């Protein structure tokens, strides 16, 4: 059993969906968690739910993780709440604005790159200040299989996730000597609010291209994040773990 008692974690975009599931997994293992979301009420509800269920300390922080000032305040609030301690950062904030290249608006490119990739850059920069002093830390970037293989109609999203993978590998090299592990998780097609909008026929078509013949669950991604947050992954860095039912091999 993984024990994260006395550890502290900050998870961006964790008010709902995969981010929330990761927060639940870490809290169940004993970690105190900062729930960050652009929607403060959602973050507060999730923080209260998790604190009540697992008797750990949580805080809710409202932040647009693509803005430096918001990120600086988010980290200041988190460090203040948890006694200057941060052991785990999970960069999960992300959006989509899909469209074919010839029809994509420049603002949709900028928005996706800023929220998905710039946010990870800003958060990693803040987190490593604290982790370097402690000579310890786990950073996990939630990328995507489309960052590995591309996907028609998602040039902005694919580019942002490929960028996260490059960011992960570079930071792993920069901080390995300080015992800071930096890894990425690349989910495949996971059952979320996004896939809930698809018809049954569309879901079946997606599943047919997956060797395990089914969509994943948020908990599948959370389990990988739990492992990478723990001491079991201490000799693993710069890696991309695909959680995709065999879609990318």
Phi then psi for residue 136, to 5 deg, are -170, 145
Concerning whether 157 is annotated as a catalytic residue, the answer is yes
Name the nearest CA neighbour of 119 among 139, 134, 99, 97: 139
Instruction: Please tell me which residue in 54, 75, 157, 175 is annotated as part of the active site.
Output: 157
Q: Which residue has the tokens 């850059």?
A: 121
Structure tokens given for 69: 């000032």
* HSE-up (13 A, CA, CB side) for residue 87: 19
Provide the CB-side half-sphere exposure for 88 (13 A, CA): 31
Q: How far apart are CA 244 and CA 98, in angstroms?
A: 20
Separation between Cα atoms, residue 19 and residue 223, nearest integer Å = 12
Active site residues: 157
């Amino acid at each position: 059993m993984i024990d994260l008692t006395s550890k502290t974690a900050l998870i961006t975009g964790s008010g709902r969906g995969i981010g929330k599931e990761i927060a639940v997994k870490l809290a169940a293992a004993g970690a105190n968690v900062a729930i960050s979301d652009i929607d403060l009420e959602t973050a507060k509800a999730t923080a209260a739910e998790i604190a009540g269920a697992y008797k750990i300390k949580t805080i809710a922080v409202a932040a647009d993780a693509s803005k430096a000032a918001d990120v600086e305040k988010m980290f200041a609030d988190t460090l203040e709440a948890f006694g200057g301690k941060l052991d785990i950062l999970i960069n999960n904030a992300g959006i989509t604005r899909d469209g074919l290249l010839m029809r994509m608006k420049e603002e949709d490119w900028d928005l996706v790159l800023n929220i998905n990739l710039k946010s990870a850059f800003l958060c990693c920069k803040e987190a490593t200040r604290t982790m370097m002093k402690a000579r310890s830390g786990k950073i996990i970037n939630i990328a995507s299989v489309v960052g590995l293989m591309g996907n028609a109609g998602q040039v902005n999203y694919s580019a942002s996730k490929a960028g996260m993978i490059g960011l992960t590998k570079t930071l792993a090299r920069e901080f390995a000597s300080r015992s800071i592990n930096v890894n990425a998780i690349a989910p495949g097609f996971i059952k979320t609010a996004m896939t809930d909008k698809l018809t049954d026929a569309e879901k079946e078509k997606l599943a047919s291209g997956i060797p395990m013949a089914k969509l994943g669950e948020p908990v599948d991604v959370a389990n990988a994040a739990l492992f990478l947050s723990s001491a079991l992954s201490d000799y693993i860095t710069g890696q991309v773990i695909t959680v995709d039912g065999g879609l990318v091999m």
